[in-house]
Chains A and B, each alone.
Chain A
Amino acid sequence: MFKYLPLLWANLGRKRLRTSLTLASIVVAFLLFGLMQTLRVAMTGSPELAGIDRLITMHKTSFVQSLPLAYLNRVKGVEGVVVASSQDWFGGVYQEDRNQIAAFAVEAPTFFEVYSEYQLKPEEKQAFLQDRTAVIVGPMIAERFKWKVGDTIPMRSNIWTRKDDGGNSWPMKIAGIYQASNGDNQSMYFHYDYLNESRAEIRDMIGWVVVKVADPGRSADIARSIDDLFRNSSTETKTSTEKAFIQGFANQMGNIGKLLTFVAAAVFFTMLLVTANTMGQSIRERINEIGVMKTLGFSGAGVTFLIIAEAILVTGLGGLIGLGLAALASKGIGAAVAQFFPVLGMPPATWGIGVVLILLLGGLAAAIPCAQASRLKIVDALRKA
C-alpha cells in the first residue's frame, strides 16, 4: 500500500496553487463545521454539566425573580429530598466592567452536599465555612487574575447595592480554590448570609433552590410535591431537573443559535460542493494518464482506489487541520463566554462526524470522475491527449 504514497503525494503537487486553494477551502469548511458543532451544543445547553439527581426550584415566572428564604427549609422537608441549597445571582464584576464573573451567593454548608463534584482541601473548606466574607473561586479565574488563597478581592455587583454606604463594593476573602469535575472552573461561590445582611434592595429572599434527591427515578414526583407546597400562594414555583433548567436557560439563546447554525450549514455544504467539483475537475483532466496506467496493467479498481485515496488524502489533511483549529478556537471561545453559559469546547463527537464527512467528501469528489473514467475504454482514454 505504502508504495503508492509517492504517486499520491506527487499528484497533490500537480497544480500547487489549485491544491492549496482546495485545501484552504476544506480547512475553512471544517473549521466552520467544528465551530458550528460547538455553538450548537453550547446553545442547547450542556447536559454533561447537570447532575441527574438534582432538581432546581425557581420562581414560576422566571428565574430572575426571587423566592422567599423560608421556601428553602420547606423544600428540605419534602419527602425524597436529601438536601437542598439556595443560590443567588450576584452579577459579579472585578475591577473593570468587562471582567464579568459568574458569582453566586450560596447557602454555604449545604452547597457541598448538593454539589459533591466540587472539591476543596479540608483546611480551605473549613476556612470558607467559618468566615462569612469568604469566597471560593475556580482555578481558571484565580489564574487569570493572579488570585491567591488569603487575598481579599474588591468585588462589585451590578445588581445589588450595600445598605450601609449605598455603594456596590463587596470585599471578599479567598478561602480556597475549588476543583470541579464538571468543567466549571471560572465561577465563584460565597456566603448567602453576607449578601443578605448587606444588600439594600431585599432581605430574606433567594434566587433559586438546588435540590438533591435520593432517587432520580422519582424526580418528577418530587418536583410535583415541591411545587404543590406553594401552589395558590403569592409566589408559586416551578421545579425541573437541572438538565431541563440549563437547557431552558440556553433556549433563550437558542434562536440565534439556530439561525447561526443554519447559515453555517448552508456555507459548509456550498463549500463542500465547490470543493468536490474542483477535485473532480482535476481528475477529469487526467483521463489520458488513467488510460496510460491501465495500459501498463493497473486494473480499473486499482486506479479507482488510487484516485479515491488521493481525494481522501486532500479532504483528510484539510479536514483534520480545520477541526484542529476549530477545537482550539472553541477552547478560546469557551474561556471568553464561560460566565454566560457553559461551553466545554468542541464536542468530541465532532471528530467522529468530521471523519465521516471527510470520507464522504473525498468519495463524492472522486466518485463521479471515477465512474466516468471506468466507463471509458483504454483506447478512448488514450485518445484524450
Chain B
Amino acid sequence: MADESLVRLRGVAKDYKRGAETVHVLHALDLDIPRGDFLALMGPSGSGKSTLLNLIGGIDRPTAGSIEIAGTRTDSMTDGDLGKWRAHHVGFVFQMYNLLPVLTAERNVELPLLLTKLPAAERRKRANAALGLVGLSERAHHKPRELSGGQEQRVGIARAIVSDPTLLLCDEPTGDLDRKSGDEILDLLQALNQQQGKTIIMVTHDPHAAARAKHVLHLNKGQLSRDAAA
C-alpha cells in the first residue's frame, strides 16, 4: 500500500514568522495519497489547507519533515530544479483562476508549454486539445475578462493539465463560483480523475464539493483526520 503512494509526507511541519512571533501552522503531519485518488481537503479558514497544498506542490518548503512525490524528494531540491519539477509533475488550479489578463485563453493555456522545446504548432495543438477537453474550444481567442467565472476556471484547468502532469492541486476551485458553474467544474475534475487518471487534491470548505471526491481529509489545529463518512 505504501508503495502505491504518489504523495508521501513524513513529519511535515510548517511555521510562519510573523514579526517576532512564530505561527505553527502544521505539526508533524504524515500523509499518504495513492495514485489516482481524488482527495478533498477540508477545514476551517486559516487551518493551513493552502499551506499544505503549496508544500505538496513545491511552491513552498516545509520547516521540518520530508515530502516525496512519485518517489522523488522535493523538499531538498534547489529552487531551479523544483521549478522544472513543478512544470512536469504538477498542475495548479487557483480559486481566483490567476490567468494572465493580457493573454487569450489559448495563450494562457500555452504558457506552461513555452518552457518546453515543443515547436509552436505543437504547442498550439496541445493548448487547443486541452481547451477542447474543458469544452472551451470556441472561446480560445477570448481574453479572461471576456469570459464568465466558470469559463475562466475551465481555462485555468486547461492550463493545469496541458503539460499532462500526474498531480492536480486545486485550491478552492469553486470558491468563487455559483452553484451551477461550480458543479460544471466539479464534473470536469471528476472526469479528469476517472477518465484521465489524474490524482487530484482539492481544497474546499464546501461539503457539497467534497462529496464529489473519493476521500475527504479534515485539517484542524495542524492535525489531519480522515472523514468518518468517506
Could you tell me the distance between the alpha carbons of A279 and B95 in the complex, rounded to whole angstroms? Answer: 29
Contact across chains for A288 and B87 when beta carbons are under 8 A apart? no
Contact across chains for B83 and A299 when beta carbons are under 8 A apart? yes
Question: Is A262 interfacial (CB-CB < 8 Å)?
Answer: no
Report B95-114 residues with CB < 8 Å from chain A CB.
96, 98, 100-103, 107, 111-112, 114
Contact across chains for A297 and B87 when beta carbons are under 8 A apart? yes
Interface residue SS majority, chain A: helix
Q: Which residue of A lies closest to B143 (CB)?
A: A10
Could you tell me the distance between the alpha carbons of A11 and B87 in the complex, rounded to whole angstroms? Answer: 22
Q: How many residues on B have C-beta within 8 angstroms of the other chain's C-beta atoms?
A: 27
Question: Is B23 interfacial (CB-CB < 8 Å)?
Answer: no
B109-142 near A? 1/0 per residue, CB < 8 Å: 0011011000010010000000000000000000
Contact across chains for A293 and B111 when beta carbons are under 8 A apart? yes
Question: Is A112 interfacial (CB-CB < 8 Å)?
Answer: no
Output the residue of B102, B111, B120 with the most chain A CB within 10 A: B102
Contact across chains for B54 and A296 when beta carbons are under 8 A apart? no
Report A276-335 residues with CB < 8 Å from chain B CB.
288-289, 292-300
The segment out of A1-9, A41-49, A67-75 that lies at the interface is A1-9
Question: Is A336 interfacial (CB-CB < 8 Å)?
Answer: no
Q: Which residue of B lies closest to A380 (CB)?
A: B60
Residues of A near B88 (CB, < 8 A) are 297
Question: Is B92 interfacial (CB-CB < 8 Å)?
Answer: yes
Residues of B near A4 (CB, < 8 A) are 114
Q: Which residue of B lies closest to A299 (CB)?
A: B83
Q: Which residue of A lies closest to B114 (CB)?
A: A3
- Which of B60, B80, B98 lies in contact with A292, CB distance below 8 A? B98
Could you tell me the distance between the alpha carbons of A299 and B85 in the complex, rounded to whole angstroms? Answer: 11
Residues of B near A385 (CB, < 8 A) are 96
Question: Is A166 interfacial (CB-CB < 8 Å)?
Answer: no
Q: Which residue of A lies closest to B96 (CB)?
A: A385
Question: Is B31 interfacial (CB-CB < 8 Å)?
Answer: no
Q: Which residue of B lies closest to A11 (CB)?
A: B102
Q: Which residue of B lies closest to A14 (CB)?
A: B102
Q: How many A-B residue pairs have CB under 8 A?
A: 64
A370 to chain B, nearest CB (A): 16
Contact across chains for B112 and A379 when beta carbons are under 8 A apart? no
Question: Is A378 interfacial (CB-CB < 8 Å)?
Answer: yes
Q: Which residue of B lies closest to A300 (CB)?
A: B79
Report A1-39 residues with CB < 8 Å from chain B CB.
3-4, 6-7, 10-11, 13-14
Residues of A near B79 (CB, < 8 A) are 299-300
Could you tell me the distance between the alpha carbons of A378 and B50 in the complex, rounded to whole angstroms? Answer: 13
A118 to chain B, nearest CB (A): 59
Contact across chains for B102 and A10 when beta carbons are under 8 A apart? yes
Output the residue of B86, B123, B159 with the most chain A CB within 10 A: B86
Contact across chains for A299 and B80 when beta carbons are under 8 A apart? yes
Could you tell me the distance between the alpha carbons of A300 and B83 in the complex, rounded to whole angstroms? Answer: 9
Do A379 and B59 contact each other (CB < 8 Å), given the known contacts A3-B120, A289-B100? yes
Could you tell me the distance between the alpha carbons of A289 and B108 in the complex, rounded to whole angstroms? Answer: 12
Could you tell me the distance between the alpha carbons of A3 and B118 in the complex, rounded to whole angstroms? Answer: 11
- Which of B60, B80, B107, B123 lies in contact with A10, CB distance below 8 A? B107
Could you tell me the distance between the alpha carbons of A294 and B159 in the complex, rounded to whole angstroms? Answer: 14
Residues of A near B96 (CB, < 8 A) are 385
Do A296 and B60 contact each other (CB < 8 Å), given the known contacts A7-B103, A385-B96? no
Do A294 and B83 contact each other (CB < 8 Å), given the known contacts A6-B107, A378-B60? yes
Residues of B near A6 (CB, < 8 A) are 103, 107
Report B43-88 residues with CB < 8 Å from chain A CB.
54, 57, 59-60, 79-80, 83-84, 86-88
Contact across chains for A297 and B120 when beta carbons are under 8 A apart? no
Residues of A near B112 (CB, < 8 A) are 296-297
Question: Is A377 interfacial (CB-CB < 8 Å)?
Answer: yes
Could you tell me the distance between the alpha carbons of A139 and B107 in the complex, rounded to whole angstroms? Answer: 57
Q: Which residue of A lies closest to B91 (CB)?
A: A296
- Which of A14, A288, A297 lies in contact with B98, CB distance below 8 A? A288
Residues of B near A3 (CB, < 8 A) are 114, 120, 123
Residues of A near B59 (CB, < 8 A) are 294-295, 378-379, 382
Output the residue of A3, A296, A377 with the most chain B CB within 10 A: A296
B200 to chain A, nearest CB (A): 17
B26 to chain A, nearest CB (A): 14
B45 to chain A, nearest CB (A): 14
- Using a CB–CB distance below 8 Å, which chain B residues touch chain A? 54, 57, 59-60, 79-80, 83-84, 86-88, 92, 94, 96, 98, 100-103, 107, 111-112, 114-115, 120, 123, 159
Extra inter-chain contacts (19) besides given A299-B83, A378-B54, A382-B98, CB under 8 Å? A3-B114, A3-B123, A4-B114, A7-B100, A7-B103, A7-B111, A7-B114, A10-B102, A13-B102, A292-B94, A293-B100, A294-B59, A295-B59, A295-B92, A296-B92, A297-B86, A297-B88, A378-B59, A379-B60
16 A-B pairs (CB sep. < 8 Å): A4-B114, A6-B103, A7-B114, A13-B102, A288-B98, A289-B100, A292-B94, A294-B59, A295-B92, A296-B111, A296-B115, A297-B87, A298-B115, A299-B80, A377-B60, A378-B59
The 7 A-B residue pairs with the shortest CB-CB distance, nearest first, are A297-B87, A10-B102, A378-B59, A292-B98, A296-B112, A379-B60, A297-B83
